[in-house]
Structure 1
Amino acid sequence: MEIPFPASWDETKIRLVLRAVFDAAIRSADPAAVLPSHLPEKPTGRCVVVGAGKASAAMAAALDEAWSDVDLSGVVVTRYGHAVPAGRIEIIEAAHPVPDENSLSAANRILECVQGLTANDLVIALLSGGGSALMVAPAGRMTLEDKKLVNKALLASGATIAEMNTVRKHLSRIKGGRLAQAASPARVVSLLISDVPGDDPSEIASGPTVPDSTSLAEVQEIIARYQIELPEAARAVLESGEETPNLGESPDDVRLIASPKLALEAAAEEAAAWGLPSLILGDALEGEARDVGTVMAGIARSIRLHAYPIAPPAVLLSGGETTVTIGKGNAGKGGRNTEFLLSLALGLRGCDGVYALAGDTDGIDGVEDAAGAIVTPDTLARLREAQIDPRGCLMGHDSFSAFSAIGDLVVTGPTLTNVNDIRAILIL
């Protein structure tokens, strides 16, 4: 028997709760709040700060403030629109997800910063999601244009973030542990905000300061499996046979300061404050966004109709990074979160009492100016009233346009952090 809908929970309150849960996840990864407690012992020599990622500028600002009595300098690169003043640490802005000239310039500046250091010096690397595109140093005879072509091919291939980073590391002079090699003999401490499933430090920003366990053979297998077309100069680099620094070849001090798991726990605490129990399904969910949406719709319907695997009212929480495979056809506007939500809405088929919010914690889903969107029981009806075919939008990867038309995008602006996607499904 279907469970009665609680009359006290009107849609205004539901939207407020979903947004509060999402915002709590973002706050848990605020660099100003979490970075100072993870700092190492202050050095006797110089302190050089380098970094890359959507959160790197905010991390640099927190470090500059926390160590006002330390002689430090350095440079970090972040996405356009994500810069904040960081005192003695220079901030460079560059493009994401496809690199530009600033991405190349930033990588060269960072490599220059760590030259000529001694064992008494300390390098602090501030790394977060997005660093792979923001900091590029093409290997061999590759040009920036070659790097752009590789990134575009990877993004459209359907490969997971781990697989994309495996390829990127082997085509770089700075990723896959090579930045740490360049800084030797200085001590390197890496402060990481994770946006990758499983929090593997070698995957965050493609692991510039940690040894790499992947191999050229794996790269070739990934390229073959996804039929990725590489520029000739990139193929030449892979054929040269040079591996990235392997495990055990260099010491590393890696400190995870924020992660999807901690963000989900913060989201669950916020839900509990509203009197809602939560079921965390995991922080590392992957797969095609539309497929994950279909699966989540089935779980939500089971809860609503049968109170299984948890009794309503309740919130289903999950994190990780899904995939949108564009292929070779044309695509509309959208990212993995809005595509997930459009698929979820189709799977729910207007089920009463089920609402959802999914968004990227950096504030940008894909390349559009929204973090994600909200689904309500009447989402499909409102789309059709607006003469929008929801299934056609899903097939054409045009989910952003669909939610924009009905006013259900979630817009946060740059959050200056990034612990990947947070999905919250509220079942009443």
Structure 2
Amino acid sequence: MSIIRNKDTIIRYHNCKSLSDSLTALDYAFKYSDPERLVGESINIASNLQLSGINNRIHQFDLPDRASTLVVSVGKASEKMLVGFINKMKDRIKKSILIIPIGYSIEKINFELLDNTIVIQSSHPIPNVQSTLAARKVVKELQNSKSIQLIVFLISGGSSSLMVSPIEGINLTNKKIINKMLITSGANIEEINIVRKHLSQIKGGKILRRIPPSTPVIALILSDVVGDHLDTIGSGLTSSDRSTFKDALSILNNYITLNSKSESIRKAKVVLESGVRSQIPETMKPKEFSSRQVTNIIIGNNSNFCRLIQECFKKWGYFTNYMGSNYGISMNDFIKVASGIINTKHEPKTCIILGGEVTNTLSGRKMGIGGRNQEAICQLLQIIRNNDLHDFSVICIGTDGIDGNSPSAGGFIAPRTIELLKSKKLDVNYFIKSNNSNVLLTKLRSRIDTGYTGANFNDVYLFVKNK
């Protein structure tokens, strides 16, 4: 069964081999990078507990006794990660806390598992009151963990807004406003999370201060950020932090110039300025971190997801070029890269794969329905609408299944996309200006719908020529 809900409809209508192969390769990558599977494969129980990640290094720990492990699973992949962990360590878990976005299915957490699992449905990408309740519950359990032999965090993308504990001087409403302004400002995720960490009581490793230093802490992590930086994933919940209050203040000053009169921004700057003057404790730095028994292990990332796609196309005889997962660039820069790929003459059966997270600025524009992946497709359409694509297709997709505020994961361009655009005489620029990329791609039958995938490995960009 395909994770792409409208796959059959897409294939039937567009009748394009490069497109159908791309969708099948995506299915393959989703199957073999399923978070439940990745967690299960990372755990080996012998005479001790052995854990491994994407670098294949084996970490060894004392095997905890029955009912002596506390598990905190937070993020867009939290349900599947927790199920994978329970399947391997069920009898050794005393309590687990599952923090999941509102609207995500919790069908795999059955009634038997609910006996010792607390489920909190929180909010993403803008936090809500449930986000603060989730943080308070986790902190309470950590502070009462003296009888616990092992604490395990299962962390995936989305954690930053799902678990929120505002620093003294700002409140939840302030954080919501600041988050929304940063998300629409063009700031990248690393910059956004630097601000989040310094306006939080738990991010940037601060949550570790709530745990007895002698208690072993393990974090199994799915990376959704360019570069796989531990201090950026989930705002560095269990990591030491490179950034400073000065960095956070600089980011606010760089991106929030037009909204500088906002009361929330004013309060944030007061807090950050206090931090710069060392009146507020910094995030956890490497020296303090090294005094604790914390092990962070990345078990999945965008690179591995892209290589699964590459593996699939190689089996089918395609020439493949995986260009890396470091495309954390602006929309304008991405369009230049993508246009260059499309306008290059390629041999038949060629597949080019990129990964990353393109940043887009929405300031001053009407908020419609869409997301960065669908907007990228629309901007490319504007450029190549007169190209003769033959059997060539382009896909931009978010692996979490939700692109922006739309119901779609992303979109694509295939020959019939351009045919429809011309026959319907649609003005692409109108939809871009109104931020309605999803509306345009719906009219062009060129959107990809998966619903929530229960995974999150950032975005993937495919350029495939069959003939």
The structural deviation recorded for 1:416 is: 0.5
Instruction: Give, in angstroms, the shift of residue 378 of structure 1.
Output: 4.2
Q: Is the 8 A contact 1:127 1:192 kept in 2?
A: yes
Among 88, 92, 97, the residue aligned to 2:125? 97
1:28-427 → structure 2 map (5 Å cutoff):
28-39=32-43, 40=49, 41=61, 42-44=63-65, 46-84=68-106, 85-86=108-109, 87=113, 88-118=116-146, 121-185=149-213, 186-227=215-256, 229=260, 230-241=264-275, 242=280, 243-250=282-289, 251=292, 252-302=294-344, 305=345, 307=346, 311-349=347-385, 350-353=387-390, 354-427=392-465
Distance 2:238 2:167 in 1: 17
Structure 1 CA distance, aligned partners of 2:418 and 2:436?
15
Question: For the residues of structure 1 that align with 2:131 and 2:162, how far apart are their CA atoms?
Answer: 5
Contact 1:361 1:417 in 2 (8 A): yes
What is the count of residue pairs matched by the alignment? 413
Root mean square deviation, CA, Å = 1.9
Question: Could you tell me how far apart the structure 1 residues matched to 2:388 and 2:166 are?
Answer: 50
1:120: how far off? Answer: 6.0
Secondary structure of the structure 1 residue equivalent to 2:311: helix
For 1:13, the equivalent position in structure 2 comes to 17
Tell me, what secondary structure is at the counterpart of 2:287?
A: coil
- Specify the SS of the correspondent of 2:288: coil
Q: Structure 1: which 5+ runs fail to align?
A: 1-9
How many Å apart are 1:110 and its aligned residue?
A: 1.0
Partner of 1:3: none
Deviation at 1:236, TM superposition (A): 2.8
CA distance in 1, matches of 2:189, 2:124: 15
> 3-state SS of the aligned residue for 2:248?
helix
Secondary structure at 1:69 match in 2: helix
TM superposition shift of 1:267: 0.6
Give the superposition deviation at 1:281: 1.1
Give distance in 2, aligned partners of 1:181 and 1:274.
51
AA aligned to 1:211 is S
Contact between 2:398 and 2:410, CA under 8 Å: does it hold in 1?
A: yes
Letter in 2 for 1:398: N
1:333-383 CA-to-partner distances (Å, cap 9, x unmatched) read 211111111122233333323211111111101121110011113434422
Distance 1:128 1:81, change over 3 A: same
Indicate conservation of the 8 Å contact 1:156/1:325, yes or no. Answer: yes
2:69–2:92 Cα contact (<8 Å) kept: yes
- Whether the 8 Å CA contact 2:249–2:269 is kept in 1: the answer is no
**What is the deviation of 1:387?**
4.1
Is the partner of 2:92 in helix, strand or coil?
Answer: coil
1:74–1:113 Cα contact (<8 Å) kept: no
Cα displacement string for residues 174-226 of structure 1 (whole angstroms, at most 9, x for unaligned residues) = 11101222123221111100000011111111011111110111111111111
Structure 2 SS opposite 1:179: helix
Aligned equivalents of 1:43, 1:144: Cα separation in 2 = 37
Question: Is the 8 Å Cα contact of residues 43 and 120 (structure 1) preserved in structure 2?
Answer: no
CA distance in 2 between partners of 1:411 and 1:360 (Å): 10
Amino acid at match of 2:305: A
